[in-house]
Structure 1
Amino acid sequence: MQPHPFFKDRLIPSAHKLGQFELRALSVSDLDRDYSAVMESAAEIKAANPYSTWPEGLTRERNLIDLAWHQREFEMRRSFAWVIEDLAGTYLGCVYVYPSLTGERSADVRWWWRIGQNADQAAFRSLLHEWLGTSVWPPLSYHLQA
């Protein structure tokens, strides 16, 4: 598997601080916390993205496969997924960057929040947008969708 062409010469950080948020690359070691957060927040995740069936029918085993895929994609620089935590390490949700597979100079950026967390979502969006405009990232059009 080759890196995505726009990311082949870039090392996207597996951990990054965004103001009061910490991003850490999503991996199989997050299985218990991730599955719990997804299942608690399933209705809100689905409502935020009615065109997707995820996480409908998600099992713990299927989530492990998804996490392994996200981990491998990150390692190969094809797409990127992080756990969003606060500075105390509370699991707030996840954020994903999916570069276009059709050759367009764009990437979809999506995230979801764990139900019951009082994170400053507007601040997160602003900080994420600012970070995506830095030299760490290739100059693409990033479409942010919460």
Structure 2
Amino acid sequence: MDIAGLTKKLAIAPGVVVPRTLDHERVHAHAITRDDLEADVAGINTSLELIRRTRGGSWPTRPVTLEGNYVDLVWHEAEFRDDKSYTYVLTNPHHGYIGCVYLYPLGVRRQLTVEMLRHDVDVSWWVTPSAYEAGLYTATFEALQCWLGDELPFAAPFYSNVEIPR
């Protein structure tokens, strides 16, 4: 079966509301909005190499601008509202803004494979260099493992980051 180029839509049961905020020990998350613009631009631009090294993929190819990132944040808001994908800002009480988490349909971020069909969501994340040094990259992975299937309606995540904590 050739499924290259296809996506597996996120299946949200009727009546299920995906939470806009999540909390776990040292990591907190809230649905990204245009109000996060300045912190998001600063976070991305200080993390270019770390994002590509840990999350993988080609984004970001260069520093982002306020204007360009504003369009992305509005798109993320609409996707969240329409249950098409979910993007969260990560924060920590001592570090403030520390990065983002993305919950995408399978086949959007990476080419869909037959093996991936047993999963229900593509999960990726990144944190800033200072958050990484403070162990918050691993803390985010631990938080995701608690949130998924418990607070978030996905029980079979596919973690698509290149660097997965062990």
Report the 3-state secondary structure (helix = DSSP H, G, I; strand = E; otherwise coil) of the residue aligned with 2:130. Answer: coil
Structure 2 residue 55 is matched with structure 1 residue 40: no
Structure 1, unaligned runs of 5 or more: none
Alignment correspondent of 1:116: 130
Q: TM-score, normalised by structure 2?
A: 0.74
Higher strand share: 1
Kept in 2, the 8 Å contact 1:92–1:119? The answer is no
SS in 2 for 1:92: strand
Q: What is the aligned-residue identity percentage?
A: 25
Distance of 2:98 and 2:148 partners within structure 1: 20
Cα deviation, 1:33-78, whole Å, max 9, x if unaligned, reads 1001100111211233453232425322111111111111111111
Change (3 A) 1:40 1:136: closer
SS of the residue aligned with 1:78?
A: coil
1:122 to partner: Cα distance: 2.2
Aligned counterpart, 1:65: 71
Query: So what's the TM-score if we normalise by structure 1?
Result: 0.83
SS of 1:95's partner is strand
Q: Distance in 2 between matches of 1:11 and 1:127?
A: 19
Hey, what does 1:137 align to over in structure 2? 153
Q: Number of matched residues?
A: 142
Cα gap change, 1:113 to 1:85, in 2 (>3 Å):
same
Offset, 1:93: 0.6
8 Å CA contact 1:8, 1:77 repeated in 2: no
Structure 1 moving runs of 4+ over 3 Å:
none
Q: Which runs of 5+ in 2 are unaligned?
A: 1-8
CA distance in 2, matches of 1:90, 1:41: 15
